[in-house]
Amino acid sequence: MSSLSRQSLLALIILERFTTGEQDRVSIRNNIPTFDGFFKFNEDLNKQIRNQLRYLWNENLIMPTTNTKKLQKFQITKNGQQFLKRSVPIWKELISKNQQALLVMEEACQGEFTTLIGFHTIEETKFLNKILDQRTVSLSLIFIELKKKNTQLSTINIQKLLLLRYGLSISETALTKYLVELTQIDAVIVSPDEVGRKYAVFENQILAKEKLKSTMIEIEHAKQCLDSMHHFITSLTPKIKKYG
């Protein structure tokens, strides 16, 4: 299991429930935090919880306390306790980095470029993409960066810039699609050279207010999502102290 995936976060949430004693699938589901829509209460979530319980059992992180198959109860094992202890600082760092990335995005939308983010690993950027609508945010940030640079940039250079400055990992296919969309609304111009085409903006061009507003709304929602995750992870610290 990837250490920074949606499923590994769900596993962490499930293990947290066992810090208060034995649990069954229904009691776990009824206490899953949604993190402002990151998890949705539906049949797919029920399936994910069942799969995670099976995975945690197979990995000896939890063990059954009842023999009934109808609504089996589990408790955390010593391996599960240590896994929980190791996971908390990892998630704290991830959330902190992504909060910083959102701050950089927010400042850029306001015309400020003072804050820098730490290096994002591939896993970290993939998680950031899960809490943001990539298209909405990317369209604005591409325009903002091209205007700030005031020069022509290739697709690969734009891709690197978005990764290093904002922690956004965007595939070349997706980025090309966004650039085409920006050229179609005359927000971005493309050099006529078909080989190694480059993109730029005219000096007097401005980003449509509705696009900037949509981006700010998306960033604010992502901030709320991360804030709720941070609160959850922080609440785990006193709970795992008893595990030594």
Evaluate if residue 67 carries a pLDDT over 80.
Answer: no
At residue 156, the 3 state secondary structure works out as helix
- Reported as a single tens digit per residue, the pLDDT across 2-29 is 567 889 999 999 999 999 888 999 999 9
Please report the pLDDT score of residue 203 as a whole number: 66
Q: Would residue 37 be called left, alpha or beta, if left means φ above 0 and alpha means ψ between -120 and 50 degrees?
A: left
- Reported as a single tens digit per residue, the pLDDT across 78-123 is 999 999 999 999 999 999 989 999 999 999 999 887 766 666 777 7
Decide which of 3.30.300.30, 1.10.10.10, 2.60.40.420, 3.90.230.10 is the CATH code for 95-226: 1.10.10.10
Length of the chain: 244
Can you name the residues that pair with 200 across neighbouring β-strands? Answer: 189
Work out the average pLDDT over 61-66. Answer: 92
DSSP letter for 60, please. Answer: T
pTM for the full model? Answer: 0.87
Separation of alpha carbons 119 and 166, rounded Å: 10
Domain positions in the chain are 6-92+234-243, 95-226
| Beta pairing class for 62-64 and 153-154 | unpaired
- In whole angstroms, how far apart are CA 16 and each of 33, 94, 222, 239? 11, 18, 23, 8
At residue 232, the 3 state secondary structure works out as helix
Separation of alpha carbons 173 and 24, rounded Å: 44
- Reported as a single tens digit per residue, the pLDDT across 152-189 is 899 999 999 999 889 898 999 999 999 999 988 888 88
The fold adopted by the segment(s) 6-92+234-243 is Arc Repressor Mutant, subunit A (1.10.10)
